[in-house]
Amino acid sequence: MQNTGLLRRFGAIIYDALLVGALLFLATIPFIAVRGGEPVETGDNTLYRLVLAGVVYLFFVGFWTRAGRTLGMQSWGLQLQTADNAKPGVAAASIRFFAALLSWAPAGLGFLWQLWDRDKLTWHDRLSGTRLVYYPKPGKAKKQAG
């Protein structure tokens, strides 16, 4: 178990962004079908916006509560944990989700905060009582130690 570096975090974010983008594309298909193939305008379609927001929310909160990691986090050896090393519950994962949106708002300052934080935590780590932990693969841990 090691502290999570900022670049490792961003690697997982990029991976997850690609997956979420694909899910949003799939969630859009029924709306396009209902409109006879016409594009969906988000400005006047509240249901569509709610569905897209729900897909993103369910992706992150679902993975965090069931597995403690998203697919992107898994690829980068990251695990989300509470202070007692457990997977977060729905409440903590929901707080983390919405706090992460706040972390992006001021030009990503909530993520960059990790560089100055004594425990290497981001704003959403602190607000949700969770943290990302890096677990290197067994072969990598031996190579790094030697």
DSSP conformation letters of the chain: -EEPPHHHHHHHHHHHHHHHHHHHHHHHHHHHHHTTTPPPPSTT-HHHHHHHHHHHHHHHHHHHHHTSS-HHHHHTTEEEEETTSPPP-HHHHHHHHHHHHHHHTTTTHHHHGGGT-TT---HHHHHHTEEEEE---HHHHHHHH-
**Is residue 67 scored above 60 in pLDDT?**
yes
Q: Is residue 55 part of a domain?
A: yes
Distance in angstroms (rounded) separating the CA atoms of residues 95 and 32: 32
Half-sphere exposure of 101 (CA within 13 A, CB side): 9
pTM tops 0.85:
yes
Q: Is residue 33 part of a domain?
A: yes
Q: Is residue 86 part of a domain?
A: yes
Structure confidence by residue, pLDDT tens digits, 1-53: 677 889 999 999 999 999 999 999 999 999 999 989 988 887 878 999 999 99
- Only one residue has tokens 């396009």, namely 32
Structure confidence by residue, pLDDT tens digits, 85-111: 999 999 999 999 999 999 999 899 999
Structure confidence by residue, pLDDT tens digits, 113-125: 999 999 999 999 9
In this prediction, residue 146 carries a pLDDT of: 46
The residue segments making up the domain with residue 66 are 2-138
In this prediction, residue 141 carries a pLDDT of: 54
**Is residue 144 scored above 90 in pLDDT?**
no
Cβ of 38: how many Cβ atoms within 10 Å?
9
**Is residue 77 scored above 70 in pLDDT?**
yes
Q: How many domains does the chain have?
A: 1
CA 61 from chain centre, in angstroms, equals 8
**Is residue 112 scored above 90 in pLDDT?**
yes
Q: Is residue 64 part of a domain?
A: yes
Q: Is residue 144 part of a domain?
A: no
Q: Is residue 146 part of a domain?
A: no
Q: Is residue 34 part of a domain?
A: yes
**Is residue 143 scored above 70 in pLDDT?**
no
